[in-house]
A and B are shown apart, each in its own frame.
Chain A
Amino acid sequence: METISATCPFCGCLCDDIQIVVENGKVLEVKNGCSISKTLFTHHDPDDLVPQIEGKKASLEEALDRAASIIRQARFPLVFGLSMTSCEAQRKAVELAEFIGGNIDSTSTFCHGPTTLAMQSVGEPTCTLGEIKNRADLVVFWGCNPVEAHPRHIARYSVSPKGLFNPAGRRGRTVVTVDVRATPTARVSDIFLQIQPHKDYEVFEVLRALLKGKDLRIDSVGGIPLDALKDLVNKMKSCKFGIILFGMGLTMTRGRHLNIEAAISLVRDLNQFTKFLIIPMRGHYNVTGADAVLTWQTGYPYALNFSRGYPQYNPGEFTTVDLLRRKEVDAALILASDPMASLPRQASSYLEEIPFVVLDCRKSYSASFATVFIPVAASGVSISGTAYRMDGVPVLLKKVLDSPHPTDEQVLDGILKRLRQR
């Protein structure tokens, strides 16, 4: 029996204080982890997975050969996923996409892609989670529900921890939640503002106008009384260090990137009065890393196309949802994500019409439809590597258990070698 320190590869918090008790290759106990983390480690059982071609068992070599032949024939292939694997595998995926002249996109396409667009437009006043812990005295959760989606965010960083400049912990912070319903996060907040669905943009505009001292001839906006918003603006102006943490309640509702632009513009305007910052609550544990690796390798964060040998960037044109919805791609390589379970039906149904390869550490829903399925070792459980936390801090993923399967990187490399041999 030994105790191994690990990093939890589930959500964007990347908790790196997990202690795991292992005996004979089995996890006995997970200390410090949230319930999701505990399930992730204790239920990890990759042994019964085998490579498959069209649903039939195959050897790894056969599966790699078939995968290479699918990609070789494609004229407009798509490499998609990236967000549940290490940066090392992501780097290899970029190399592959460039070599085959394909499209490459991460799961940002259906989560925080609009955030990236807004940041390119108006900038990113941001900080690390450690700064929130040590300094923040006003925390605004907008369209996100960390109690259920990022279970330790509140305890480790944003609400309850005692920090260097906030020795009182929870008592030293005002917590505001803006959401369409009273989520569990709203219940642990001091102030809850219930907003009508799809009205975030209007509320941000009004907050910005109030901040600028403009007189507005309205009583309420988006279901929130103007007085409550005036009160919020006063709190925002008078805090010492404020932070907006936002989720898909903002990025995937009517307005999308423009909602985020409005939110960031508000934060920018607030910095005339006090220190105010904003952080997106990224979901998949290494989706921030996908953005980072793609930007480092190509100059652009997602929605890329290499058809002409050089990267072309255009969300809306090369984003996965749009490529599939318009039925443009003719083959796909999916790693570390489950698009058929998470993409809109209109887009995911097209995958059934084209050959596609899935690399995954579990038999996902997409894997059951894949032309070729290659099981891989799980990053952060069976292989070490690098991942980026939601605030852009790189964290080391550690190996806890052995795996009989190759890594994403090795499989991608195997496909690349076959393509190069021709």
Chain B
Amino acid sequence: MSGVGEMNEILLRPKVEFDVPVEAEVISPDLFAEKSHEEIGSLPVFLGNRKMCLKDLFEIEGQSSTNIVLEGDFSRVKKIGYGMSRGKIHIKGNVGMHTGATMKGGEIIVEGDAMDWLGAEMNGGLIWVKGSVGHFAGASYWGSKHGMNRGMILIEGNTGNEVGKKMRRGTIAIKGKTGDFLGVGMIGGTILAFSETGERPGAEMKRGSIVLFLENCTNPPPLLPTFTYNCTYSPTFLRVYLKTLRKLGFPVKEEYISGKYRRYNGDIVELGKGEILIYEP
């Protein structure tokens, strides 16, 4: 495609529809930055248990750039942007598991849906998903001490269960519905869920904030009995958060910024220093 080189981006398109998963943590701006077209094409990827070159599975255009564009269906391609520290990946379609997991910086934009473990254990950077995501976004891997630790995940669609599991720092904002156990075992950080949420938000949380706006939610789930009501107030920090989100372009209603919130603290079987804030219309 003409013009790609001039815009200095690297474009990848799958050559075939993948019937088995592909592991491609090499699709990362850190690795593409200094490499020629040839070198990028010969980076190793795994199609199931077959070790192959990137060029065997994808059409590649452009070279030496930290600006990567992925076009097509990447829903079976795992670990895109895994551990990346700079640059940008723009995914114009669906994307597979572990996208942006353990990333330290840079930006990932997903136009479609993302699967499980999006931004798991990330340490910085921004992930913006226009569609829905699977389970464990920003969560910890099994047996790990903490989940995401700095950075931001913005999701416009719905999410699965255990989003922000054991998160330590950072922000997750979800426009759509969330599954069960939102922010389970949270150690810090902030989760803003604008629509309905599943059962048991904030279970076993130690510190951190979960903000529930419960938009269009006729039947909100009861909080766990181990959360206690404190007061109704208008938290200052939340105004800063909401205004920042709005500045980034994430839709936030005006009334949320000045609105009042019921505060519950918990989970009292753990440290009890966490809070759930529920917007009061």
Contact = CB atoms under 8 A, between A and B. Distances in A.
Contacts of B269: 205, 208-209, 212, 214, 265
Contacts of B23: 307-308
- Central interface residue in A218, A255, A306, by most chain B CB within 10 Å: A255
A335 to B, nearest CB: 20
B136 A329 contact: no
A117 B142 contact: yes
A297 B119 CA distance: 30
Interface string A295-313: 0000000000011100001
Chain B contact surface mostly: loop
A208 B226 CA distance: 9
Interface string B28-65: 00000000000000000011111000000000000000
A330 B49 CA distance: 11
B8 interface: no
B116 interface: yes
B206 to A, nearest CB: 13
B229 to A, nearest CB: 9
Interface in B87-105: 97
B268 interface: yes
A169 interface: no
A233 to B, nearest CB: 13
Interface stretch (A50-58, A243-251, A314-322): A314-322
A330 B181 contact: no
Size bracket, chain A contacts: 35 or more
Nearest to A121: B143
A409 B183 CA distance: 45
A217 interface: yes
B76 A328 contact: yes
A258 interface: yes
A51 to B, nearest CB: 27
B281 interface: no
B220 to A, nearest CB: 16
A254 B199 contact: yes
A212 B21 CA distance: 47
B99 to A, nearest CB: 13
Nearest to A218: B225
B228 to A, nearest CB: 7
A247 B46 CA distance: 38
A202 B224 contact: yes
A306 B49 contact: yes
A102 B203 contact: no
A273 to B, nearest CB: 16
A22 B252 CA distance: 77
Contacts of A205: 203, 224-226, 267, 269
A325 to B, nearest CB: 12
Contacts of B180: 254-255
Given A206-B226, A328-B76, A314 B49 contact: no
A201 B200 contact: yes
Contacts of B48: 74-76, 101, 307, 330
A308 B22 CA distance: 11
B19 interface: yes
B262 to A, nearest CB: 15
B184 interface: yes
A221 interface: yes
B204 to A, nearest CB: 8
Contact of A316 (B136, B184, B226, B268): B136
Interface of A: 74-77, 100-102, 117, 120-121, 201-202, 205-206, 208-209, 212, 214, 216-218, 221, 254-255, 258, 261-262, 265, 306-308, 313-317, 328-330
- A-B pairs, top 3 by smallest CB distance, nearest first, are A101-B49, A75-B48, A76-B48
19 contacts: A74-B48, A76-B20, A76-B48, A76-B49, A101-B48, A201-B203, A206-B226, A214-B268, A217-B225, A258-B181, A265-B204, A307-B23, A307-B49, A308-B46, A314-B141, A314-B142, A316-B135, A317-B117, A328-B76
